A and B are shown apart, each in its own frame.
Chain A
């Protein structure tokens, strides 16, 4: 079967050039100053000290993390019940509901986010409905509320699907056993269903938190031009101010934060599955 082995080699060359090299470029630019090229390469931490010494950037980083955590928490609180209801529906309703949840995901994120602009505007659909009831228009577009709403809207299907899969994989006889042993409905949920679905919640968290931290078009469209998250800073460094070195350093900082949180999530996942007897 040696003949087939050679078929993998061209791709190894391709990923070295198209995946590894660009990543190395980010690291290289992050640790050098503008104007340096390969021949005058000089290591510096200036980009990082600049970022952490400027309160504006610390604010942006903090805001991005707060918004991402808030989005993730709301996605769990709203997504869990949805997944639970779907998992306990009859088979026909189940396939229908899963289709209904996944269908919007196939439609371009930009298109769906753009639509929210019209809905949330000062004279938009929601304020129009409120107006019928004599409620004064509320400013919604270009606020944190709009940004969080846009993120929850775009990322919650990932959470629902992850929790749903872990709920359907669950052994239903465990609930009967708990019932026989005298557990009431609440106890059965808290002691059996919830721990067994935690792996789904955790993989949902990584799928929501990661795009939420780095998102830059949702804050731009729904938060307005003044609403800056870390993704927007990176975008402007590359596309407007042209400071690749600083932009690379910021994306490296962001990537490290994300990797750390993924690592923690994986550890928690391992701990909980160890506690629940390795249930997957």
Chain B
């Protein structure tokens, strides 16, 4: 009876995992397809990878995606951390006010945030393109950084910075040498979240961009109207990179643990 139940649950898990990975396996397999079909395989070829690297549209999409993700991550991590530290010393009114406002882009459907920004940039007469996309990404990344930094600050001993300054450190030194190192794990996870949010964003980018500035998501969306297996090649590279990073992140602590046990 117990064994039966175990087998049933294993079969169920296997089916669900197949469901999760079917599109990923499909993408990888068809990126090596010898012909243009998205449904029939014929032979192994790397021509879609060649096509991808020789397509200036796709390469510029990749460059914009990475560039915006890197700048947005750096800016939002710094600003988010500074603001979170400032708020931790502020009164509760300001704190709740900022937290509630930060909730807006997180809780609102992305399309609502997107059209708000679209109208905002247009009414200011800012030309849609790289700058608007970057500003939008910084805007929606900062709340996530603050969400991951604030809990770390709450656990920080408030006397630490005071003690540091009593010993003659300037406020800036206290900040850099005492507070920031203590909340580093929160800052790093915030930066990671910001990077992936920016890298994967489609809806907001799609509404606020213009002048041929596209990221990978917009490219996939506009190209999906025609058959284009180069998308599969690009996707496969992204899948490979993300898998390597995630596996490394998850395996390194395990290896460290094992070494300590020895």
Which of B115, B202, B239 gathers the greatest number of chain A CB atoms within 10 Å? B115
Cα A99 to Cα B250 in complex, Å, equals 8
| Chain A CB within 10 A, most for which of B90, B97, B139, B158 | B90
Q: Are A112 and B115 in contact (CB under 8 A)?
A: no
What is the bound-complex CA distance between A152 and B139, given in angstroms?
A: 28
Cβ B109 vs Cβ A110 within 8 A: no
Q: How far is the CA of A107 from the CA of B27 in the complex (A)?
A: 12
The total of chain A residues at the interface (CB under 8 A) is 76
Residue of B nearest to A88 (CB): B9
B176 at the interface (CB under 8 A from A): no
In the bound complex, CA of A1 to CA of B106 (Å): 30
Contact with A along B5-25 (1 / 0, CB 8 A): 000010011001101111110
Query: Does A19 interact with chain B (Cβ within 8 Å)?
Result: yes
Partner of A81, one of B12, B119, B235: B12
Give the distance in Å from the alpha carbon of A221 to the alpha carbon of B222 in the complex.
10
Chain A residues with CB under 8 Å of B13's CB are 82, 85, 97
Residue B189 at the chain A interface, CB threshold 8 Å = no
- Which of B101, B161, B224, B246 is close to A15, meaning CB atoms less than 8 Å apart? B101
| Complex-state Cα separation, A102 to B89, whole angstroms | 36
Would you call B16 and A214 a contact (CB within 8 A)? no
Residues of A near B90 (CB, < 8 A) are 5, 8
- Encode contact with A along B229-247: 1 for CB under 8 Å, 0 otherwise: 0011001001100110010
- A-B contact count, CB below 8 Å? 209
- A25-B119, A108-B220, A251-B115 as given contacts; A8 in contact with B20, CB under 8 Å: no
Bound complex: CA A102 to CA B245 (Å): 13
Q: Does A18 contact B (CB under 8 A)?
A: yes
Q: Is the CB of B98 within 8 A of A123?
A: no
Q: Find chain B residues with CB under 8 A from A99 CB.
A: 246, 250
In the complex, the answer to whether B250 meets A26 with C-beta atoms within 8 Å is: no
Indicate if B69 sits at the interface (CB-CB under 8 A).
no
Closest-by-CB residue of B relative to A111 is B235
Is the C-beta of A265 less than 8 angstroms from some C-beta in chain B?
Answer: no
Asked if B44 lies at the interface with its beta carbon under 8 angstroms from chain A, I say: no
Is A216 an interface position by the 8 A CB rule?
Answer: yes
CB neighbours (8 Å) of A114 from chain B are 220, 224, 231, 235
A148 at the interface (CB under 8 A from B): no
Please name the residue on chain B nearest to A82 by beta carbon.
Answer: B16
Write the nearest CB–CB distance from A161 to chain B, whole angstroms. Answer: 13
User: B135, A18: Cβ atoms under 8 Å?
Assistant: yes
Q: Indicate if A51 sits at the interface (CB-CB under 8 A).
A: no
- Output the nearest chain A residue to B116 by Cβ-Cβ distance: A22
Are the CB atoms of B85 and A4 closer together than 8 Å?
A: yes
- Contact bitstring B110-127, A, C-beta under 8 A = 1, else 0: 111101111110010000
B182, CB-defined interface residue at 8 Å: no
Contact check, A118 vs B220: say whether CB atoms are below 8 A apart.
Answer: no
Is B83 in contact with A7, judged by CB distance below 8 angstroms?
A: yes
Chain A neighbourhood of B102, CB < 8 A: 15, 19
Alpha-carbon gap, A262 to B108, bound state (A)? 11
Interface check A6, CB cutoff 8 A: yes
User: Which residues of chain B have C-beta atoms less than 8 A from A15's C-beta?
Assistant: 98, 101-102
Which of the 9-residue segments A52-60, A192-200, A231-239, A269-277 touches chain B?
Answer: A231-239
Cβ–Cβ contact A119 & B22, under 8 A: yes
Q: How far is the CA of A255 from the CA of B139 in the complex (A)?
A: 20
Cβ B220 vs Cβ A247 within 8 A:
no
Q: State whether the Cβ of A32 lies closer than 8 Å to any Cβ in chain B.
A: no
- Whether A104 lies near B24 (C-beta < 8 A) is yes
Asked whether any CB of chain A lies closer than 8 Å to the CB of B60, the reply is no
B187 nearest CB across to chain A (Å): 15
Q: Cβ of A1 and Cβ of B161 under 8 Å apart? A: yes
From residue A266, how far is it (CB to closest CB) to chain B in Å?
Answer: 12
19 residue pairs from A and B, CB less than 8 Å apart: A2-B89, A3-B171, A4-B89, A6-B86, A7-B83, A11-B83, A12-B94, A14-B142, A20-B101, A23-B116, A26-B115, A81-B9, A102-B246, A103-B243, A111-B238, A114-B235, A118-B39, A125-B39, A217-B221
Q: Top 5 nearest A-B pairs by Cβ distance?
A: A22-B116, A7-B86, A8-B86, A214-B109, A115-B23
